[in-house]
Chain A
């Protein structure tokens, strides 16, 4: 299971001194305050930390959903922070897969169609049904989101995220709205994708128990990384106790 980590790590992202300041009226919120880290190819990274510690902001900037106030993000050696909105869109379209806490499926499209929504615009996608099988949902393709359970919806979201064969999969609390049993099924799907496709995976969670499935764990506090843990021994998602 440590195939990726045992090789010499190749950095996909090199992030240094990343800072994000939000201003609402006269209040200034420093969501990120000088974060520096590398994310390695094929690695599964878990970001831990309390609400408001800056994890989501970090993920959004890395995913090209948001821009930084200062600092740099190098994706495969190329600067991300200076890109235009249109370039960021192209970056997301071809390189990044997202999984969100609340699934964010289009309610008027079926499971298969939600995946096809992405494969239509990707450059080298897999077939939507392939992605759904990989996400562990082979027999619900014609169901609408409203006809699926939370865990099933999240697996559609994972299928949608991986169908474009992204270099990086960014998951913001993917199990946050799920019970433990379903959560494990979703984590298994993510682990399988990481293993089989070698997709660099970043996973935000509140749940400290999940950290054991990652290669490395970063804990955020007040917009900074308070400490980093490298798991010598990872556990399988099924072993996670909630």
Chain B
């Protein structure tokens, strides 16, 4: 090994603690890149492979009842590769051991010729045989939640009649990778299931012989999706078509998209923070090292080493530390990435989901980490070039300090120790500022992590307490006359019943358009409430419509603007409506109208889609019994259970995430404060040892060091709060999708907790360095130069 490399190895051994603190910061950045990009790739590639192999549709459409022969025409639409007519019906499930009814979706599979679109992946058993009414294949998530295996039985209320079903197969579908029940925010596999049955059997149950109410189609590569949708819409319109849509409006697909968006946001926001801090730490460590080794550098130059070889020697130190960080980060990232993928398999049903950590990802992460370290090293290394050999041989002149403001006026506000600390801080203003910034970044990172609790709490409070105040929502299989509310009100224990009507529309403003559902609410309702941007309840507008802020932004409209509303059910009526308000709603794309106004806007007159009810908890069982026997009721959403499930699911995920972030925050604090303290100590060893010689106690001497660190850590707090709020904003924005919005709510407790973690880890790092002051060898320190 070359002598300079031996020196390198020994330098690394000597600097191990500082090097490790830095390597951990680099590791954190590397790990996040590997987790986020790796998980994103796994999800995206697995999804693409599943879609392709199992022919996931690109076009989805529903109708009331279309004749089967129409499918041949749909299949002939230019751009369509294959189309499949289906019967899709909501059903209520009655499962032994479950008090409340679960909801399900029954989907037909063709009896002849096999599935051409949205093929099923058979995990266990077989598919139902043609015409067998009692046979069903269920999605794996639902089967696992109930411990079902082929041969097990459960009941379903289909079209008002209870039927015994036997599970013959357990399947996965590209259409239900993320299977979410009506009214839920996260999947609840116990209360929601997808059932696949023979077309003939399902047609018999729902009186759909020779007809279909749902069609899915794959398209050719480069097909114009818009044109295909228009053609399909035209064909289905006479049969109650409600407008075809593409993948982006398909629930399962959209949820996966939103997860990918979040991973991308994570990859874009977090690693740069760590790489910035690591560049800064490299700079701090190297410039100090080079200052200390001036004479050695001069010697190397004197004996004939080229500037380049000397610079390379120090660059190698930065690279070596980066490599250690890369190694730790790659191991941690791969491990955590696998964990995240396991977590995903709880939510997303894929035939397989493997964490993809290909070599190029490590190469990318490593390249970025080393580039950051070298960027940090550049300035110090360049300073070597400008150091003439002869000058390098002489020790540097004493550091020039400045008087503090006010000192000249004879103010003696501070003790000499504090003055020493302050002068040192001001002597290196850039470094002090960067150290403060580095520490504040860990405060910010912690706020970013902890704020998700606040955001989720705010979401739960808004959705489940302020906006939706019912105990349950009953959805009808199809729209009913308004008197259906009376039969809901007549259910045992029902204290209050309020109807609602939801109808699919396309809202347009110029070239901007969005497909969503308008909800009509009774004017004097109490169960479902519209909330303004400050979360105060609003009455539904007597005319016009209200949009949630996401829709308003997507369509670029404000209160008072007009939008064109195309009602997709029956006759495709188009109306021009005024936006009477922009409202807050963290989930989905929503628009509200007064029920009366909605009824007036549509040709068929008053109708209701479902009823919200408040119910006496003691009468629940009786109510459930009756609901199961009411053919009109297609599904029931129990708010209490949804809320509890949402909280539990999210809490589990956030706890994992927060633990990771707190760890990352502590790593940054430790990296910054420890390194800063070590460098201070090295710069001031003589000074501090002299103080000890003069008779100052260890405590007094270390106070010089601790005061400076304390000033930095305390000054970092307000800056950290500000940055943290900014990061929280970036995260809320980055995570935003049509499905979810994170409210930007940061509680005082979050600011306080973030600060406490940083202050505490700062204190621990400072005390680790303080121990070195206690063990000063006074004579040795004073004997050596500098």
Residues of A bordering B, CB below 8 Å = 60, 63, 65-66, 85-86, 89-94, 96, 98, 100, 102, 104-109, 113-114, 116-118, 120-122, 160
Contact with A along B286-302 (1 / 0, CB 8 A): 00000000011011111
Q: Are A65 and B302 in contact (CB under 8 A)?
A: yes
Question: What residue in chain A is nearest B296 (Cβ atoms)?
Answer: A106
Is chain B's interface secondary structure helix, strand, loop, or mixed overall? helix
Instruction: List chain B residues, Cβ under 8 A from A96.
Output: 304
Q: Are A116 and B390 in contact (CB under 8 A)?
A: no
Is B535 at the interface (CB under 8 A from chain A)? no
Q: How large, as a class, is the contact surface on chain B?
A: 20 to 34
Instruction: List chain A residues, Cβ under 8 A from B481.
Output: none
Q: Closest CB-CB distance, B19 to chain A, in whole Å?
A: 14
Q: Are B11 and A108 in contact (CB under 8 A)?
A: yes
Q: Closest CB-CB distance, B510 to chain A, in whole Å?
A: 66
Q: Closest CB-CB distance, A101 to chain B, in whole Å?
A: 10
A-B pairs, top 8 by smallest CB distance, nearest first, are: A93-B304, A108-B10, A65-B390, A117-B3, A92-B304, A104-B299, A66-B390, A65-B389
Question: What residue in chain A is nearest B2 (Cβ atoms)?
Answer: A120
Q: Closest CB-CB distance, B304 to chain A, in whole Å?
A: 2
Q: Are A89 and B299 in contact (CB under 8 A)?
A: no
For this complex, 5 residue pairs linking A to B, each with C-beta atoms less than 8 Å apart, are A60-B390, A65-B301, A65-B390, A116-B3, A121-B304
Contact with A along B304-316 (1 / 0, CB 8 A): 1111000000000
Is B657 at the interface (CB under 8 A from chain A)? no
Q: Are A117 and B303 in contact (CB under 8 A)?
A: yes
Q: With A66-B388, A100-B393, A102-B785 given, is the CB distance from A89 to B304 under 8 Å?
A: yes
Centre residue among A63, A105, A118 by max chain B CB count within 10 A: A118
Q: With A65-B389, A113-B3, A117-B3 given, is the CB distance from A108 to B305 under 8 Å?
A: no
Q: With A65-B389, A102-B785, A108-B10 given, is the CB distance from A120 to B304 under 8 Å?
A: no
Q: With A89-B306, A92-B304, A116-B3 given, is the CB distance from A106 to B390 under 8 Å?
A: no
Which of B296, B301, B303 makes the CB contact (< 8 A) with A118?
B303
Question: What residue in chain A is nearest B392 (Cβ atoms)?
Answer: A65
Q: Are A109 and B6 in contact (CB under 8 A)?
A: yes
Q: Are A113 and B6 in contact (CB under 8 A)?
A: yes
Is B511 at the interface (CB under 8 A from chain A)? no
Instruction: List chain B residues, Cβ under 8 A from A160.
Output: 303
Which residues, 374 to 399 on B, are CB-close (under 8 Å) to A?
A: 388-390, 393
Question: What residue in chain A is nearest B385 (Cβ atoms)?
Answer: A85
Centre residue among B3, B6, B11, B388 by max chain A CB count within 10 A: B3
Is B771 at the interface (CB under 8 A from chain A)? no
Instruction: List chain B residues, Cβ under 8 A from A113.
Output: 3, 6
Is B4 at the interface (CB under 8 A from chain A)? yes
Centre residue among A60, A94, A108, A116 by max chain B CB count within 10 A: A108
Is B14 at the interface (CB under 8 A from chain A)? yes
Instruction: List chain A residues, Cβ under 8 A from B53.
Output: none
Task: A66-B390, A160-B303 are known; give 8 further A-B pairs, CB within 8 A.
Answer: A63-B302, A65-B390, A85-B307, A92-B302, A93-B305, A94-B304, A114-B3, A117-B303
Q: With A60-B390, A66-B388, A108-B10 given, is the CB distance from A98 to B302 under 8 Å?
A: yes
Which of B2, B3, B305, B785 makes the CB contact (< 8 A) with A89?
B305
Q: Closest CB-CB distance, A179 to chain B, in whole Å?
A: 16
Q: Are B306 and A104 in contact (CB under 8 A)?
A: no
Contact with A along B1-35 (1 / 0, CB 8 A): 01110110011001000000000000000000000
A102–B783 Cα distance when bound, in Å, is: 13
Q: Are B7 and A109 in contact (CB under 8 A)?
A: yes
Q: Are A89 and B301 in contact (CB under 8 A)?
A: yes
A94–B303 Cα distance when bound, in Å, is: 9
Question: What residue in chain B is nearest A161 (Cβ atoms)?
Answer: B303
Q: With A65-B390, A89-B304, A89-B306 given, is the CB distance from A117 to B4 under 8 Å?
A: yes
Instruction: List chain A residues, Cβ under 8 A from B298.
Output: 104
Instruction: List chain B residues, Cβ under 8 A from A116.
Output: 3
Which of A66, A86, A93, A102 makes the CB contact (< 8 A) with B303?
A93
A102–B6 Cα distance when bound, in Å, is: 22
Question: What residue in chain B is nearest A163 (Cβ atoms)?
Answer: B303
A121–B299 Cα distance when bound, in Å, is: 14
Instruction: List chain B residues, Cβ under 8 A from A100.
Output: 299, 393
Instruction: List chain B residues, Cβ under 8 A from A107.
Output: 296
Instruction: List chain B residues, Cβ under 8 A from A108.
Output: 6-7, 10-11, 14
Q: Closest CB-CB distance, A224 to chain B, in whole Å?
A: 20
A192–B306 Cα distance when bound, in Å, is: 30
A74–B221 Cα distance when bound, in Å, is: 79
A229–B291 Cα distance when bound, in Å, is: 42
Instruction: List chain B residues, Cβ under 8 A from A85.
Output: 307
Instruction: List chain B residues, Cβ under 8 A from A89.
Output: 301, 304-307
